[in-house]
């Protein structure tokens, strides 16, 4: 996956490889700018046409390689079989279209359904998304709802056609902490009910620990570690993963400093040679600068990309 | 909403008061005496003085103004010196012609500008966009009177396709139903009248409309470019909406809000443009009436016409304001 900018080609994603089974949740973790959102948008092929392009790679979904289907076929997948929930519910809903029309839009686009039936299903979805008074909400506009309510509307919208895969791009980042937990619980509940596969993108390891079965850690457009959630938290192998874990504040009897990963994420225009994490890695040496580590198995269902393990 | 309407209507009063005051002073400062223009050349000074007293023109200017104002309050704009009829009647007999011209010009502008702007904005920095941009700049920079004269030279002069002046009504002598020739033709089910009326309207309306279309096209373009970068556009695409629907439903619905503002402003420009265009095309509306009344030093008619222009402008802006909540549910009037 590359972006073409005026400063040259940017390889935003490089060798990102994972799979999600139905009914399971994969967490995709990493700092801002590591390519999490781009990964999700690539799956739906929603990156701006003139700047973003999938140069090579395959996106297999229910037996079809989405990287190679036509735009028309892709439209039949979007919103019907794969849905997406975006980070900011304040800007992701159309401000001048009422909630009902926004939820029923996908139904009308993908199915032959009467207005009354679509509205009835929208009410059902809103109820499922935990919105009180759903019938009344249909006629309301986004600005009349709180942030949490809007994200529930987004969820109802994404579920409108019972998709088999849900891409949730930091669905709670823009919300109050108390609302975050509610929304995540709701997503989990709905996932169990519909047996959906979920890709949960987040930078919050706490969310990963509680809501996913499997985790992929991304750095610099690559997956650096991939494991079951339990494994990852029990024995993180990649120095970046360890750094992330150490930067979580833990309640301790003895006061101690939170250790942060030094430095900042390098620019995608100008990745360091070899291992992309080496500029911030405490273990880096000459080999890291020359060779790029491959994602290799380090245990059953556990892989990491580092020479220093 | 009702309270808002009432408040806006009350705000019109001081505007009207000020406009009459400014006009009254300006026109009395201007050189020229209406009486000498009105009277036959061999009129004696006694006769002139008699008329001057009859019209109240011998009074101090502030007395004249208050006499005038007390009549305006009752809806009486005085008598036209030139026509000898009440100013209100003279203006109203010519108002439909101006309204019809303005409405057709606006329709032309909208039909050209919105699709062109949407098209250009949906493909920024492509050949389509550059062609649209060229039209926009041409439209904005060509003065409507120049375009009007060019149209006359080409379409009436060289090609002899369209009438160059006037506003024929197909020899219909019955009293007009609405005063709008096109609409009257439709109501009478008289295709010939509709066609004839459109023939006379075509050039002046185009000359007026192209200018507005240029500005409107530029605004539509930049507005839709902004909107298409919004998150909710991505949401619409993620739902599987085809690009056509994303642009013309989700996009346009949001882009229309700034477009409406420009329509309101441009309508004002269109009104002032119509004064010149009506004169060029001898269009019997209130624009050409204004020019001829100025030339005749017909004070009550000049002030009355400008007052009507002011009111139209105020009403248009008011109507535009009332339309906002329909386009943007976030707007609450109050």
Instruction: Give start-end residues of each CATH 1.10.3720.10 domain in chain B.
Output: 94-327
Q: Which CATH number fits domain B94-327: 1.10.10.350, 1.10.3720.10, 1.10.1840.10, 1.10.240.10?
A: 1.10.3720.10
Average pLDDT across chain A, whole number: 85
What's the rounded Cα separation, in Å, for the pair B81 and B85? 8
CB contact under 8 A, B240 and A78: yes
- Which structure tokens are listed for A84? 């997406």
For A184-223, the pLDDT digits (tens) are 888 888 888 888 899 999 988 888 888 899 999 998 888 8
Is A276 part of a structural domain of the chain?
yes
B330 in A contact zone (CB under 8 Å): yes
- A:B CB pairs within 8 Å: 72
Per the CB < 8 A criterion, the answer to whether A304 and A231 are in contact is: no
Burial class (CB in 10 A: 0-12, 13-18, 19+), A268: buried
Q: What is the value of ipTM here, to two decimals?
A: 0.87
Is A253 part of a structural domain of the chain?
yes
Out of A78, A97, A141, name the one closest to residue B237 (CB).
Answer: A78
The pLDDT value recorded for residue B171 is 62
The domain total for chain A is 1
CB contact under 8 A, A46 and B328: no
Is A285 part of a structural domain of the chain?
yes
Is A262 part of a structural domain of the chain?
yes
Closest CA to B114 of B3, B266, B238, B2: B266
| A52-53 β-sheet, strand order | A8-11, A2-5, A52-53
For A169-190, the pLDDT digits (tens) are 988 887 888 888 888 888 888 8
Out of B238, B253, B328, name the one closest to residue A78 (CB).
Answer: B238
Q: Which domain holds residue A271?
A: 228-309
> Apex CA A217: angle with CA A231 and CA A31, to 5°?
135
Q: How many helices (H) and strands (E) does chain A have?
A: 12, 13
Q: Nearest CA of chain B to the CA of A76: how many Å?
A: 6
Residues of chain B predicted below pLDDT 70: 32, 34, 37-38, 168-175, 334
CB contact under 8 A, A79 and B240: yes
What contacts A251, CB < 8 A, 6 or more positions away? none
| A222-228 β-sheet, strand order | A82-85, A165-169, A197-202, A25-29, A214-219, A222-228, A302-304, A296-299
Closest CA to B297 of B9, B102, B27, B44: B27
CB contact under 8 A, A141 and B330: yes
Is A251 part of a structural domain of the chain?
yes
B240 in A contact zone (CB under 8 Å): yes
Using an 8 Å CB-CB cutoff, list chain A residues near B240: 75-80, 106, 109-110
Is A235 part of a structural domain of the chain?
yes
Q: Nearest CA of chain A to the CA of B330: how many Å?
A: 7
CB contact under 8 A, A98 and B329: yes
What is the mean pLDDT, run by run of 10 residues, along chain A of 309 residues? 60 75 87 83 82 74 84 90 90 93 94 92 90 90 91 91 90 82 86 88 88 90 90 90 81 65 77 85 84 86 86
């Amino acid at each position: 996956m590359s972006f073409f900018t005026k400063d040259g080609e940017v390889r935003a994603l490089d060798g990102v490889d994972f799979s999600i089974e139905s009914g399971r949740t994969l967490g995709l973790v990493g700092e801002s700018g590591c390519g999490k959102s781009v990964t999700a948008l690539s799956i739906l092929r929603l990156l701006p046409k003139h700047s973003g392009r999938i140069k090579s790679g395959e996106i297999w979904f229910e037996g079809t390689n989405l990287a190679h289907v036509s735009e028309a076929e892709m439209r039949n997948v979007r919103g019907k079989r794969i849905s997406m929930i975006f980070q900011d519910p304040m800007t992701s809903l159309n401000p001048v279209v009422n909630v009902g029309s926004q939820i029923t839009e996908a139904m009308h686009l993908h199915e032959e359904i009467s207005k009354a039936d679509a509205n009835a299903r929208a009410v059902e979805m809103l109820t499922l998304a935990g919105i009180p008074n759903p019938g009344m909400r249909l006629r309301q506009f986004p600005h009349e709802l709180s942030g949490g309510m809007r994200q529930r509307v987004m969820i109802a919208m994404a579920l409108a056609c019972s998709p088999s895969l849900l891409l949730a791009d930091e669905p709670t980042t823009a919300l109050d902490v108390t609302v975050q937990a509610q929304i995540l619980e709701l997503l989990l509940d709905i996932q169990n009910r519909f047996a959906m596969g979920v890709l949960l993108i987040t930078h919050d390891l706490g969310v990963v620990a509680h809501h996913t079965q499997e985790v992929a850690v991304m750095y610099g457009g690559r997956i650096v570690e991939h494991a079951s959630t339990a494994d990852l938290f029990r024995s993180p192998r990649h120095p970046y993963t360890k750094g992330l874990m150490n930067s979580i504040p833990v309640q301790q009897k003895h006061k101690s400093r939170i250790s942060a990963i030094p430095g900042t994420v390098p620019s995608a225009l100008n990745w360091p040679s070899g291992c992309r994490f080496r500029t911030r890695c405490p273990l880096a040496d000459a080999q890291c600068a020359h060779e790029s580590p491959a994602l290799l198995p380090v245990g059953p269902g556990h892989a990491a990309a580092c020479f220093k393990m | 909403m009702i309270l808002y309407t009432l408040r806006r209507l009350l705000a019109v009063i001081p505007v009207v008061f000020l406009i009459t005051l400014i006009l009254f002073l300006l026109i009395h400062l201007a050189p020229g005496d209406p009486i000498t223009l009105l009277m036959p050349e061999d009129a004696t000074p006694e006769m002139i003085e008699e008329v001057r007293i009859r019209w109240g023109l011998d009074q101090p200017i502030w007395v004249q103004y208050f006499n005038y104002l007390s009549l305006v309050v009752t809806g009486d704009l005085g008598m036209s010196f030139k026509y000898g009829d009440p100013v209100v009647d003279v203006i109203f007999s010519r108002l439909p012609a101006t309204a019809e011209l303005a409405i057709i010009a606006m329709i032309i502008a909208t039909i050209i500008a919105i699709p062109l702007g949407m098209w250009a904005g949906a493909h920024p920095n492509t050949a389509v966009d550059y062609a649209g941009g060229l039209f926009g700049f041409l439209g904005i920079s060509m003065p409507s009177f120049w375009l009007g004269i060019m149209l006359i030279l080409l379409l009436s002069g060289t090609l002899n396709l369209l009438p160059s002046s006037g506003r024929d009504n197909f020899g219909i002598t019955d009293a007009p139903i609405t005063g709008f020739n096109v609409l009257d033709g439709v109501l009478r089910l008289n295709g010939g009248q509709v066609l004839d009326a459109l023939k006379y309207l075509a050039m002046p309306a185009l000359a007026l409309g192209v200018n507005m279309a240029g500005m409107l096209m530029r605004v539509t373009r930049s507005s839709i470019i902004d909107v298409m970068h919004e998150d909710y556009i991505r949401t619409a695409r993620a739902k599987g909406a085809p690009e056509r629907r994303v642009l013309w439903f989700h996009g346009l619905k949001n882009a229309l809000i700034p477009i409406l503002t420009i329509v309101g402003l441009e309508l004002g420009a269109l009104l002032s443009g119509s004064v010149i265009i009506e004169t060029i095309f001898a269009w019997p509306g209130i624009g050409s009436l204004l020019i001829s009344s100025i030339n005749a030093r017909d004070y009550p008619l000049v002030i009355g016409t400008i007052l009507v222009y002011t009111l139209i402008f105020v009403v248009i802006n008011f109507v535009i304001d009332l339309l906002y909540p329909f386009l943007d549910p976030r707007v609450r009037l109050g």
